[in-house]
Each structure stands twice: as structure tokens, then as C-alpha cells.
Amino acid sequence: MNVTRELFNDVMVPNYNPAAMIPVRGSGSRVWDQENNEYVDFAGGIAVNVLGHCHPALVNALKEQGDKLWHLSNVFTNEPALRLAKKLTDATFADQVYFANSGGEANEAALKLARRWALDHHGEEKNQIISFKQGFHGRTFFTVTVGGQPAYSDGFGPKPGAIDHATYNDLDSVKALISDKTCAVMMEPLQGEGGIISPTDEFVKGVRELCDKHNALLIFDEVQSGVGRTGELYAYMGLGVTPDILTTAKALGGGFPIGAMITTKEIGASLKVGTHGSTYGGNPLACAVAEAAFDIVNDRALLDNVKRKEQLFRDGLAAINAKYHVFSEVRGKGLLLGGVLTEEYQGRARDFLVASTEQKLMCLVAGANVVRFAPSLIIPDEDIKDGLARFEQAVANVVNAA
């Protein structure tokens, strides 16, 4: 079969608009397309390919588990799931784990658990969920409604109720909404899709205090910020604030689909037998690969190196910006960075993405005004320099075409 980009338009629903080129092979932070053109990958599958493409440890874990067990369902447990759960709980605040297939599903589980916990302990009146404008928590109808971007949730009929949105980094806006009827506040400890926005210390600690005051659970969505992305195993570890529930996915499997919700034993007790479930959650293949990825990432030397590589990116982007003046600032932490476009280039983030692809560089956007970078945590320094050189040419082409 002759596989072309045009075939996409024939056989796929039109909710995506992928690039014209079709990647066929990857190794480390390099990707090759059907014509054997070589790309530098600063996108990481949207902060997923935490160890790059085809990392030997992940490939070996997949092959080894593939010869043992692929799928059982949760009528049975399995060794890879239990090993991974033990490592997650040993490394974090949590006591218990629920496995899913994606970040959206992990967030769905977190929200359902919060509502059920509130019902069990405080009654059915305590059901309000507070989240934040420009937040993003997945594409299920519940999570997309909790996410604070109406463009993603409008047009699908009546939305789930008792959900309110505050303004990120504005503690007064939370105070205006929260009450003893609030069961949970859900937030990203670093907003990703909303524009790569870090919380202030005062804000994140204030939210924790408000949750404590009103007996509400604090849910951290670390789907994008977790598993080493910020230079900490999980971003909460660098904020001095501990959530009650945390969700993790994307980088957790290093490219193999898996998600998890982690929490304390006291809160987790509300997910009694039959209250929630997943056919593929805790799949042996996924958990075996995720365990291999987690073992590599959960290393202080690797995490410290993420912070060093962040500075390489910041220095390189600053040098480019000194010439072309396209960014008002570079936001983010670790290897989740966003170049915020100046007023002159507002709304044109995708132009920079397309121009980068033409220069054989893969990058991302975070809304219309932010160019996003989320590469492998172990991307070689030379690949960072090569990729930034390609990005500089892309920037030059956009500027000169204006």
C-alpha cells in the first residue's frame, strides 16, 4: 500500500491536521520521514518521549514482557503493575495507585474519586470542583469541562455541573469561589496547554491552605509536568506543596500509553470495588515499559542534568531573540519551555511551528501565542545546539516573510 499524507484525508476523521511529512523511524532525539529526511525532535510527542525514541531499556522491557503476558484485565493483577505501583508510592507522597491508559482517564478517575470521597465523608452537598481558566485536563466530557478553555468544551450539549473556574495565579479569585461545598480544587503545577505558566509560591501555597480550611482535596494534574519534566520527579516536589491526589501520564510510559492516579490510603478507600474501572488500566505491557522508564528518570543526576539543559535552551533562545525580537519572554521550567510571542507576532505561533518543520525541526505550540519545547530529558547537548540553529533559521524565515 502506498501510504501518503493524502490518505489521511480519506480515512481519518478531520479532527487533526498533521504535517505533510510522515515520520517512519526514530532514534534518540532524531526522527526520519519517508524520504529519509532527518529531523531534530524538540516536541517529544508533546512531552511524552521522555527518553527519546527507541531507548534500548524501553525496547528491551517491551520485548521481554511481550514474550510473557500482554493482557489479563483487572479480574487479575500482574507483576509489572504491582512493581510500578510500589515504585510510584515509594518515590512520592502517595500510598495507592489507580492505573489508566491516558492523562484524561487519570484525571477522570481523580475527579470521580474526589466527588465520591466528599459524598462519603461530608454528604452530597459538597460537590463543587474549582479549576482554572486556560487549564487543560483532557478530552473526556468531564475533564474538558473542568479544563478552563471553553473552545474545547462548547458545542457538545449540556456540561457537567458544579464546576467553576478561577484565574491562575490569582488567589483572590479562588477565595471568591471556594466554600465548604467545594470538594476539590484541580490545578496544573505548571500550566502546559494554557501557555507554559508557572505558579507563584504565594499562589500555590495559598491554594493548599484554602483547601485545608474548607476540607477540600487538592488535585495536581502532573500529566505534562511530571516524570522529570521540570527537573524534579514531580513538579510538586519543587513547590513545597503536597497535593492529596496527583495524576501522571504522558512521560510515565516513555511513549507507551499509560496513565496513573496516585493518592493516600484514606482518600483512595472511597474507590471501593465496582466504583470505577478500566479494561486496559494496569496492562502488563504498559507497566513493564513504564517501570523501565521510571527507573531511569528517577535519578538525581539525570534530574539535575535537566536543569542544566534548560539553561542551554534559555541561552540559545535568548541569543536568537537578541537578533529577531520575536519573544517577550521564555516561560516554563526544566524542559517544558515556551517562547511567548511579542505583540507584533501575536496569533502566529503556528507559523513558527510550520517554519520549523520546513527546517527539519519538530516543535510545538501552546495556544496561538506561545512556541513550546518539550524534548527528551536526555537530549544530547549537540542536538540542542543543532535544533536551535534550525529554529533560528525558521525564525528568520518568518520574520523576513512578514
75 has binding-site annotation? no
Tell me the C-alpha distance between 228 and 300, whole Å.
Answer: 10
Strands, sheet with 364-365, edge to edge from the N-terminal-most edge strand = 327-333, 336-341, 370-373, 364-365
* Beta-carbon count within 10 A of 312 CB: 15
Amino acid at 44: G
Cell of 349: 505561533
Q: Report, in angstroms and rounded to the nearest whole number, the Rg of the chain calculated over CA atoms.
A: 21
Tell me the C-alpha distance between 334 and 24, whole Å.
Answer: 28
Tell me the C-alpha distance between 72 and 78, whole Å.
Answer: 8
Tell me the C-alpha distance between 352 and 56, whole Å.
Answer: 33
- Residues marked active site are found at 136, 221, 250
Tell me the C-alpha distance between 361 and 345, whole Å.
Answer: 20
Residue 294 contacts residue 227 (beta carbons within 8 Å): yes
279 has binding-site annotation? yes
136 has binding-site annotation? yes
139 has binding-site annotation? yes
381 has binding-site annotation? no
390 has binding-site annotation? no
Return binding residues for N(2)-acetyl-L-ornithine: 139, 278
Return binding residues: 136, 139, 221-224, 278-279
